Amino acid sequence: MSLGISSLVCLPPKKEDQVKLSALLKNLGEVELTESMAGQPNRAIANKRSVSPQKMKEFCSKSQKIQDRKEEAYINRGYIRVEDYEGNSTTSYYKGCPKSLKKNPWMEQVHANLCGSGGTNLRSIKIPSHFYTVFDGCAGFSAKTALKAAPSLANINGSEGKDLGKGSFYGGDVMLKLIQEVQAKGDKDSRHNFEMRYYASSGLHFTQEYDAAIGCAEEMDFYLDMHKSHVPEQKAPKFVVMGYSNGGHNSLRFAHNFGDSREVDLAITIDPVAKGLRYMTNKILGRKHKNYGEKPSTTKRLLNIYQNIEAGPKKDLPLDLHFHGAQVRGGVNLHLMKDGNPVDAHTEILKEQSLLDALHCELEKVHGRGGGEHCSRVKYD
């Protein structure tokens, strides 16, 4: 027996029609019909109608371009064809999320459901509960080392290289391991329900630099918004950004720029330092920065951990060029290592137990957990 219009819109479907109606709704990306919904079929398809045909057309047009560029970048090691300002064809690295090769290609699934072959039910798509964006310091990025420490990284496959032929991985090692450690404390469902991305801050890895990070975050926001339009009960994911040294600088930039689209739940900056030329210019001119930027109003919580040990000129250098951070206005600041060797302080801060406790505490809290003894040991400024 075929399903008539009255079955879908006016009258409660008979039991023998529920299977057919359920299959139809599932194909549209809606939940399967249950007995409690049998008399209210309009409610089951209301979300589909809440998005206008024009909006869906615009979404699918943009989404298809994104998917095509992902595929092109995947084939060409991160690069795509673009037009320059004179209209000539040239190449540029793709400033967005790379094609997902992981177990949960949720953006591709949203596209396929709404604009393509259908596939996974929209309510069955597993949206990560937490998104982490991690920036290593200058000379720290190492794709292979990072992938060994965090095999689930969503944006690298190990071929992206390392800074200056070495890649110290000082900051990345601490941040990636702590994120995984905190995630592992969750229940069975949440333990693996997160997405983590790792980026360079040196300017040497264009496919995995700041522009790619912010572009990827904007793509995620684009797909999350459309998914939410169809599945309004979907719980909003948490966004966390953290970085060390130049990566701390990039984390603050990320929080400011991404905040135009979506709130950042937690930003962490570890001894933030501006990129080389700006930092060195300030040093040479004797400009001491008491504050390092300001917490964005769209960031719920910002923790800044820093040291600012000053030193006189070394014998072989006419100026003090040692790296150190400063306070972030409006953020929660943690000043460590007030005394010590200024030459090593910028890397030694990563070994401070107070830093590790503070990171544990903040990451636990963003998961809705108390943080326990880690929080009790931290003494903020």
Q: What is the pLDDT of residues 193-235, one digit of tens each?
A: 899 999 999 888 778 999 999 999 999 999 999 999 999 999 9
Q: Locate the domains of the chain by residue range.
A: 53-120, 124-376
Long-range contacts of 274-277 (CB under 8 A, 24+ apart): 274/246, 274/249, 275/138, 275/201, 275/203, 275/246, 275/249, 276/138, 276/246
- Looking at per-residue pLDDT, the higher value among 87 and 344 belongs to 87
Give the pLDDT of residue 27: 46
DSSP-H helix ranges across the chain: 5, 15-27, 41-49, 53-75, 106-115, 143-149, 170-183, 210-230, 246-258, 276-284, 345-348, 353-366, 372-376
- Rounded Cα distance, 74 and 184, in Å: 31
Statement: residue 22 has pLDDT above 80: no
Segment 101-123 mean pLDDT: 83
- Looking at per-residue pLDDT, the higher value among 23 and 191 belongs to 191
Q: Please name the fold of domain 124-376.
A: Rossmann fold (3.40.50)
Segment 298-312 mean pLDDT: 85
Taking residue 176's Cβ as centre, other Cβ atoms within 10 Å add up to 24
DSSP-H helix ranges across 50-186: 53-75, 106-115, 143-149, 170-183
Stretch among 95-99, 146-150, 280-284 having the lowest mean pLDDT = 280-284
Position 254 confidence tier, pLDDT thresholds 50, 70, 90: very high
Give the pLDDT of residue 176: 96
- Rounded Cα distance, 267 and 262, in Å: 13
Statement: residue 327 has pLDDT above 80: yes
- Rounded Cα distance, 8 and 181, in Å: 49
Instruction: Report strand pairing: 89-93 vs 79-83.
Output: antiparallel
Please give the radius of gyration of the chain, using alpha carbons only, rounded to the nearest integer.
24
Statement: residue 314 has pLDDT above 60: no
pTM: 0.81
Stretch among 212-216, 317-321, 331-335 having the lowest mean pLDDT = 317-321
Structure tokens at 332: 């929660």
- Looking at per-residue pLDDT, the higher value among 366 and 285 belongs to 366
Structure tokens at 165: 């032929």
Q: What is the pLDDT of residues 47-65, one digit of tens each?
A: 444 678 899 999 999 999 9
Q: Determine contact, residues 157/147, Cβ cutoff 8 Å.
A: yes
Give the pLDDT of residue 325: 84
Q: Determine contact, residues 44/50, Cβ cutoff 8 Å.
A: no
